[in-house]
Chain A
Amino acid sequence: MRTVTIVDCGLSNIDSAVRALEYCGGDPVVTRDPAVVRAAGRLVLPGVGAFPEAMRRLNEAGLTDAIREAAIHGERPVLGICLGMQLLATAGQEMAFTQGIGVIPGDVTPLQRADATERVPHIGWNTVEDIGDCPLLKGVPPLSDFYFVHSFHFKPNDPAHMMGQTPSYGGFAAIVGRGLAFGAQFHPEKSQANGFAILKNFVGL
């Protein structure tokens, strides 16, 4: 069993991430302690919530620097899920400009409808194209569906950090990655077989 440290900022649904990671061969540990985060072998940052409130809580708990150090200097595998993915960016524009954790350079901006059939928030199952030879998508059939529920999206500054794309809203980042730090805009823990394949790949990194 590989230990997976789940960062709990008190806004998110930790239980389903814990259960899904157990199912996928991980040994989840939930923490708010920056020292535990710094020492972690691999990190999951789940997330439901609004960007400013989540960053406020991470900053207050001293977790922002701990996550950035573990990801960038420690080169530990990190997986941000949904809002957790967006928090890896340089900054977010949800409600107010807010500094992010700054692991993967980019901004989090509102989804724009490409045509009248698209609605915001983007809620439901949609496809992800592997455009960056993404290790998380290894073994996942092309154009598999994953569950999304979000109004904002991550725009990486470097196109090479875009690893999976969803062809709606003009095409947005479904998976970003830099080194061993990844973010998934969808919820792997709620995406059944395809989602579990992603989590298994992450636990195996």
Chain B
Amino acid sequence: MVKIRVMPTLLHRDMGLVKGERFDSWRRTGSALQAIKVYNMRGVDELVFMDITASPDGRPPDFDLIDDLADECFMPMTVGGGVRDAEDIGRLLGVGADKVSLNSHALANPDIIAEGARTFGSQCIVLSIDVLRGPDGRLEVMSHGGKRPTGKDPVEWAKRGADLGAGEILLTSIDRDGTFQGYDIALAKAVAAAVDVPVIASGGAGDYAHMADVLRQADVAAVAAASIFHFTEKTPAEAKKYLKKEGFNVRI
């Protein structure tokens, strides 16, 4: 049986890594290269690298930076931020990304998903969905780093993305991001039930029990977390030890 993955997310902005809260209030946490070297030694399952200002700034991915990082990265790495088309996907895979994550540009032009899947296979196309829960509880997909409303419902968009060829959904709750209050379980549950591709829950992990909660209640294949790994003493290895004790199938 495939193991549950625990994935640190590196949020990259203006030359360094940052930690935010609700996609805002960014604080610096160090360099990406340093973080990757540490995770190499710790045998991390998989990394997510997000260039969070690429799309909002109208910038393409920084291929040279990814090339340098991938050379040091002996674990699978999903790369996102500013990916515009199949050519960008190809270049990112060429410099060492294992999977490429699409978000804002796919919302504007969903055909990118199909084109990427046709050329490179579904398995390397990740659809990243950032979701905001309104005061009335209504869920909405946001683009451009959580800044632009799209009017789209996350469950419908996840289904459409998977139909077009996305091989995985990276599902982030903007409301929970950086709050340490736990994952948005209802959101994860709804999306994971609607698609057959793996879903990664992201946003809100404050302790290992939050990971167990979302894994127990929603059929997600992985949990991603940024703040707790980069801003506290908690580590992916300790998270997996905890999950193992709780009866989850993880790689120790």
Contacts and interface: CB of A to CB of B under 8 A. Distances in A.
Interface of A: 10-16, 19-20, 48-51, 53, 83, 94-95, 113, 117-126, 145, 147-151, 167-168, 187, 189-190, 192-193
B228 interface: no
Contacts of A113: 196
B120 A190 contact: no
A48 B219 CA distance: 27
B19 interface: no
Nearest to B76: A190
Contacts of A83: 121
Given A16-B70, A124-B222, A193-B43, A48 B98 contact: yes
Contact of A123 (B43, B168, B196): B168
Contact of B70 (A15, A51, A53, A150): A15
A145 B76 contact: no
Given A11-B93, A50-B119, A151-B122, A124 B197 contact: no
Interface of B: 1-5, 43, 45-46, 67, 70-71, 73-76, 90, 93-99, 117-124, 167-168, 196-198, 219, 221-222, 251
Given A119-B198, A124-B5, A125-B5, A13 B98 contact: yes
Contacts of B76: 147, 149, 187, 190
A94 B251 contact: no
A125 B45 contact: yes
A110 to B, nearest CB: 11
Given A123-B167, A168-B2, A187-B76, A151 B121 contact: yes
A127 to B, nearest CB: 8
Given A121-B167, A124-B5, A48 B71 contact: no
Contacts of A117: 1, 219
A49 B121 CA distance: 5
A149 B3 contact: no
Contacts of B73: 16
Contacts of B196: 113, 119-120
Contacts of A121: 122-123, 167-168, 197-198
A53 B118 CA distance: 8
A53 B119 contact: yes
B126 to A, nearest CB: 9
B170 to A, nearest CB: 11
Given A50-B119, A120-B197, A149 B98 contact: yes
A145 B197 contact: no
Contacts, number: 120
Contacts of A50: 117-121
Contacts of A126: 1-3
Nearest to B1: A168
A57 B156 CA distance: 36
Contacts of B219: 117
B3 A15 contact: no
Contacts of A125: 2-3, 5, 45, 251
Nearest to A119: B198
A94 B120 CA distance: 11
B45 A124 contact: yes
B123 A149 contact: yes
Contacts of B222: 124
A152 to B, nearest CB: 8
21 contacts: A11-B90, A13-B96, A15-B71, A16-B73, A20-B74, A48-B120, A50-B118, A53-B119, A120-B197, A121-B122, A124-B2, A125-B5, A125-B45, A126-B2, A148-B2, A149-B123, A150-B121, A150-B123, A151-B123, A187-B76, A193-B43
A145 B3 contact: yes
A11 B122 CA distance: 14
Given A13-B97, A15-B70, A50-B119, 16 more contacts: A11-B119, A48-B93, A49-B119, A50-B117, A53-B120, A120-B197, A121-B122, A121-B123, A121-B198, A124-B2, A124-B45, A124-B221, A149-B99, A150-B123, A151-B167, A187-B98
